C-alpha cells in the first residue's frame, strides 16, 4: 500500500468538510524555498494550467472555485456603490447573475507562481497599477471596502467614494450542473 501523502490528507479533509471538488485553488507557486512552504506542499485544487476552461456560453469557468469570469471584459471604473449596482445589473454574454466578487474570490485568481505575480495573462487582461474593488466592506471602518491590485497581488482598503476598476463574477451554470442544481 502506498504511503498517505499530504495531498491525500487534503483531499480527504475537503470531502469531509463539504468542499468537494471546489475549494481553495492552488496558488501556482512551485518553487520550494524551505521545506514546509507552499511550494513544497502545493495544496489546493487543480494545476494552474488546467484551472480555467472557456465555456461555450462565453464565460471563463474556474474549476477550482466554481466561479465564472467574463472573457475579454473591458474594465469599468466606478465608485464602490456604482460598482455593485453595475455588476448586479450586468448582462454579459447573454447571462445575468453577475456580481462584484468578495475579497477571497478576487484574490483567488492571482497566480503566485508567475513573475510578477498576477492573474494568468492568457485569461485576464489586467495591467500594472489597476486597482479593483471587492464587495467586502472593511469591518472596522464601514465607509471603506477592500481593493486589490491584481498585478502584483497587493491588498488594501479604500473609501467607497473613490473610483476603481471592476471585474465581475458569477456562479457558473457549469458549476450548478456539476453540483446537481
Give the pLDDT band (50/70/90) at residue 13.
very low
pLDDT at 111: 86
Domains of the chain, with CATH numbers? 52-178 (3.10.100.10)
Assess whether pLDDT exceeds 90 at residue 14. no
**pLDDT at residue 98, as a whole number:** 94
Name the residue among 5, 16, 68 with its Cα closest to residue 42. 5
Average per-residue pLDDT in the chain?
79
134 contacts 148 by C-beta, under 8 angstroms? yes
Q: For the chain, how many residues are written?
A: 181
**CA atoms of 81 and 78, how far apart (whole Å):** 8
The count of other CB atoms within 10 Å of the CB of residue 104 is: 12
pTM of this structure: 0.75
* pLDDT reading at 39 higher than 70: no
Which ranges of the chain would DSSP assign to H, the alpha helix?
6-16, 38-41, 80-88, 103-107, 173-178
Amino acid at each position: 500500500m502506498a504511503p498517505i501523502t499530504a495531498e491525500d490528507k487534503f483531499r480527504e479533509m475537503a470531502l469531509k468538510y463539504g468542499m468537494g471538488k471546489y475549494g481553495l485553488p492552488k496558488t501556482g507557486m512551485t518553487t520550494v524555498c524551505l521545506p514546509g512552504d507552499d511550494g513544497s506542499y502545493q495544496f489546493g485544487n487543480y494545476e494552474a494550467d488546467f484551472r480555467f476552461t472557456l465555456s461555450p456560453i462565453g464565460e471563463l469557468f474556474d474549476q477550482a472555485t466554481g466561479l465564472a469570469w467574463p472573457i475579454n471584459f473591458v474594465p469599468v471604473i466606478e465608485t464602490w456603490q456604482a460598482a455593485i449596482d453595475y455588476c448586479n445589473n450586468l448582462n454579459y454574454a447573454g447571462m445575468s447573475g453577475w456580481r462584484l466578487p468578495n475579497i477571497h474570490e478576487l484574490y483567488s485568481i492571482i497566480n503566485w507562481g508567475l513573475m510578477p505575480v498576477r492573474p494568468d495573462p492568457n485569461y485576464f487582461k489586467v495591467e500594472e497599477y489597476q486597482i479593483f474593488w471587492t464587495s467586502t466592506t472593511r469591518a472596522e471602518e464601514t465607509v471603506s471596502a477592500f481593493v486589490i491590485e491584481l498585478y502584483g497581488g497587493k491588498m488594501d482598503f479604500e473609501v467607497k467614494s473613490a473610483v476603481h476598476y471592476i471585474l465581475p463574477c458569477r456562479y457558473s451554470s457549469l458549476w450548478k450542473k456539476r453540483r446537481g442544481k
